[in-house]
Chains A and B, each alone.
Chain A
């Protein structure tokens, strides 16, 4: 299975980190992976996004222009990228932040109150991990073991104390889809 992911939201929501977790998880499953951030001026205080490819074969363009899955964590991201998702693709929205509904009828949509779920469980700021848990549950783009190991490998050394909380948040996301 090949999955092209586009993750987008505000700077500070952990979008780039979440993409890194997805890429690591794919790599640990033995797949080819790439991770490409937006690094333009828009990332300064505005929206941040990143492309992640998880593939059975070598990856051509790492720039995802037609995502199989869009993970949108703010309104501008949905507005900008809704139209780019492939037909029959998937959009996962953090509906605690994005109040609008997806207009397209040819895609599957998951409305997940990730930010609220995170804060209700004392995991403020880890909504993006809730999102990736659900992403895994919906698509099976990686194995569960690789998802958790991907989190372990992505958390920087100086933030090791937050590891368990990241994994807990991902588990909440997985559970939300059961």
Chain B
């Protein structure tokens, strides 16, 4: 059994990438994710990897695009305003069927916003990280250990489906320390990448990686084929945790750091005799509608708790499709909800308010 160590979420994300075989990291500092880049700058030179601080976030993600096209596991990270800058290249990665892992340690927005934890980039991550019809795999860890496990899995799934994967986390997870274990046996090897543009010594045809398709019928076909892959992913890659949902009257849906607060609130509600439970999406794209659909007839109402003005609640409402009430509670701007606030919302629903 590998040793348990105490580590910040940011450092753990970086170390997990190294564990997964990432040897090409391109970064740019921004609070509250800078420890990712700092950790990489310290470790990469010692293990024969590349750490490069780019001239900007845009530079960094384009270096990722180049490295990915050459067939290696590569990563960049930033926080909300920096992720906005990467939008163009995320679209290019998706449009070129290139794998890459991107970490967003969310801070409060819009604009420069603030540096405290936030979940207000959910729409951006799941709907429109850039222009055009495309999706990214998006995973939302709730503990530092899960940060490690999801970074490792994100590399594998991103390679498997040839599409970018994002770790959607926040300043709370990035800055906090928890015990973690780095388990090499969980790492799955990268598949062969016969499509990579990594030199071939005139032994085969040129590989071409592009997102440009001038003929509209060509592009229509390429995007439609990609969407078939997305359907397969929606069916097969939903990830979630259910907590006390078996007999629950009220189910709270919450992810990432918010889900930790909700867990405490559910425990407190149970102590008061209220049958509350939680569904915690671990993948937010694909959004796990399966557990919601399976509970829809058993519950009085759903409550969505986020550190935003209400973004994931859209996906909950789409899944519930008007069959039950879906309430929302959240704080934004860097304010973390407290368990007692969430408990109060659960009680309100229980009273029928």
The reply to whether A61 and B264 contact each other, CB–CB distance below 8 Å, is yes
Q: How far is the CB of A39 from chain B (nearest CB, A)?
A: 5
A7-50, CB < 8 A from B: 20, 23-24, 27, 33-37, 39-41
The reply to whether B175 and A27 contact each other, CB–CB distance below 8 Å, is no
Determine whether B315 belongs to the interface, using a CB cutoff of 8 Å to chain A. no
The reply to whether B267 and A60 contact each other, CB–CB distance below 8 Å, is yes
Known contacts A34-B177, A35-B176; is-contact A62 B260 (Cβ 8 Å): yes
Give the nearest-CB partner of B5 in chain A. Answer: A153
Given A34-B177, A61-B339, A63-B172, 12 more A-B residue pairs with CB atoms under 8 Å apart are A24-B6, A27-B6, A35-B178, A36-B177, A40-B116, A41-B115, A60-B264, A60-B265, A60-B267, A62-B178, A62-B260, A153-B6
How far, in angstroms, from A103 to B7 measured CA to CA in the complex? 37
B1-24, CB < 8 A from A: 4, 6
- Residue numbers of A with Cβ under 8 A of B are 20, 23-24, 27, 33-37, 39-41, 58-63, 65, 153
Note all chain A residues with C-beta closer than 8 A to B6. Answer: 20, 23-24, 27, 33, 35, 153
The reply to whether B261 and A34 contact each other, CB–CB distance below 8 Å, is no
The reply to whether A34 and B339 contact each other, CB–CB distance below 8 Å, is no
| Interface-central residue, B177, B178, B267, by most chain A CB under 10 Å | B177
A-B CB contact pairs (8 Å), 22 listed: A20-B177, A23-B177, A24-B6, A27-B4, A33-B179, A34-B176, A35-B176, A36-B175, A36-B176, A36-B177, A37-B175, A37-B176, A41-B115, A58-B263, A60-B261, A60-B262, A60-B263, A60-B339, A61-B264, A62-B260, A63-B336, A65-B338
Interface majority SS (helix, strand, loop, mixed), chain A:
mixed
Question: Of the candidates B4, B115, B179, B336, which one forms a contact with A39 in the assembled complex, judged by CB atoms under 8 Å apart?
Answer: B115
Give the nearest-CB partner of A51 in chain B. Answer: B176
Q: How many residues of B contact A (CB 8 A)?
A: 23
Note all chain A residues with C-beta closer than 8 A to B264. Answer: 60-61
Note all chain B residues with C-beta closer than 8 A to A59. Answer: 178, 260
List the 3 closest pairs (A to B, CB-CB), nearest first.
Answer: A60-B264, A35-B177, A36-B176
Known contacts A20-B177, A40-B115; is-contact A62 B4 (Cβ 8 Å): no
How far, in angstroms, from A74 to B247 measured CA to CA in the complex? 49
Q: How far is the CB of A168 from chain B (nearest CB, A)?
A: 23
Note all chain A residues with C-beta closer than 8 A to B350. Answer: none
Known contacts A39-B115, A60-B267, A61-B264; is-contact A34 B178 (Cβ 8 Å): yes
How far, in angstroms, from A20 to B176 measured CA to CA in the complex? 10
Known contacts A27-B4, A35-B6; is-contact A60 B260 (Cβ 8 Å): yes
Give the nearest-CB partner of B264 in chain A. Answer: A60
Note all chain B residues with C-beta closer than 8 A to A65. Answer: 338
Q: How far is the CB of A61 from chain B (nearest CB, A)?
A: 5
How far, in angstroms, from A159 to B57 measured CA to CA in the complex? 34
Determine whether B141 belongs to the interface, using a CB cutoff of 8 Å to chain A. no
Q: How far is the CB of A27 from chain B (nearest CB, A)?
A: 5
Note all chain B residues with C-beta closer than 8 A to A27. Answer: 4, 6, 179
Note all chain A residues with C-beta closer than 8 A to B178. Answer: 33-35, 59, 62
Note all chain A residues with C-beta closer than 8 A to B32. Answer: 39
Give the nearest-CB partner of B174 in chain A. Answer: A39
